[in-house]
Amino acid sequence: MSEVYLIHFKGSRKGYYYNSNSLDLKLGDYVIVQVERGEDMGVVAKKVNEESVSNEEKKPSNILRKATTDDIERLRVNREKEEEALKECQRMISSRKLEMKLVDAEFQFDCNKITFYFTADKRIDFRELVKELASVYKTRIELRQIGVRDEAKWIGGYGCCGLRLCCSTFIKNFEPISTQLAKEQNLSLNPAKISGNCGRLLCCLLYEKELYHKTLSLYPKVGSKYKTDKGEGVVDRINPFAEHIVVKHEDETEEKVSLLDMRKKDRRSRLGRAEKKKSEAS
């Protein structure tokens, strides 16, 4: 059974490939892989179990060989050509007044194909644009429309948390996200605070949903009454990270109650009820 590797390409594009030639590969190696119409070059990201790619729609192709110094130089030249192609394509788009935003251009390693990525608010008729690009570059041209989330994934960068964008690291597919998730997580509904680099709602709102549901179930609900040593108040807010609630009393004073203290109180309450039942039974 051949080993399977995850290979990264430009702009967070990635794919699974068989190491059918039993090459000695390690993280960060540049490799030449087989694609539909020729060869492409990528970087070895990690070795994976074949079972983990069994549900992929596209069956993994093969890693042909490790890249040579000449191959890497050719990749550098391709990157320079991509910058030129990007400018040329943008000129053509502007001359045709097409309502599309060009994101990037990518040459296949063997230059058998050039892919131009763009975003647009509506369907674009770019047939004439493709014809002109093909006449200039004498190769297969593909124009691929992507969404604003895909654009952020392609460009990469860092989020408000200081870490690399989730979309360009581990998120495979984008799912619908609503402001209801922000409400459930007691977050401000200020768009500037709950939106990512793409301008859409933060992806973490969705994949952290279950964690918040599990964690917040340990606390009383916001707005519910809660009795402390100072008297009865109302739960004003919950801080699951610092593990405490803030109780507001009638005199507008606030009191922090830790999760540990709440658990101790619950335990005392349960013991008290148990002792009461025991005495009543006797």
Assess if residue 253 is contained within a domain.
yes
Q: In which band, very low, low, confident or very high, does the pLDDT at 229 lie, cut at 50, 70 and 90? A: confident
Task: Tell me the pLDDT tens digit for each residue of 1-41.
Answer: 679 999 999 988 889 999 999 999 999 999 999 998 899 99
Domain annotation covers residue 158: no
Residue 245 sits in the same domain as residue 270: yes
Q: Which residues pair with 200 in a beta bridge?
A: none
Rounded distance between C-alpha atoms, residue 183 and residue 212, angstroms:
11
Helix (H/G/I), strand (E/B), else coil: 167: helix
Total domains present in the chain: 4
In a domain? residue 180: yes
State yes or no: pLDDT of 94 exceeds 70: yes
Indicate which CATH number applies to the domain containing 258: 2.30.30
Same domain, 78 and 63: no
| pLDDT tens digits, one per residue of 107-158 | 999 999 999 999 999 999 999 999 999 999 999 999 999 999 999 998 889 9
Q: What is the mean pLDDT of residues 260-276?
A: 84
**Which 3 state secondary structure label does DSSP give 57?**
coil
Examine residue 112 and state whether it is found in any structural domain, yes or no: yes
Task: Residue 241: give the domain boundaries.
Answer: 225-281
Do 239 and 188 fall within a single domain?
A: no
Contacts of 230 (CB under 8 A, 6+ apart): 249, 253, 255
H or E element that contains 207: helix 204-207
Angstrom distance (rounded) from CA 52 to CA 32 = 22
Does 162 score more than 80 pLDDT?
yes
Q: What is the pLDDT of residue 57?
A: 64
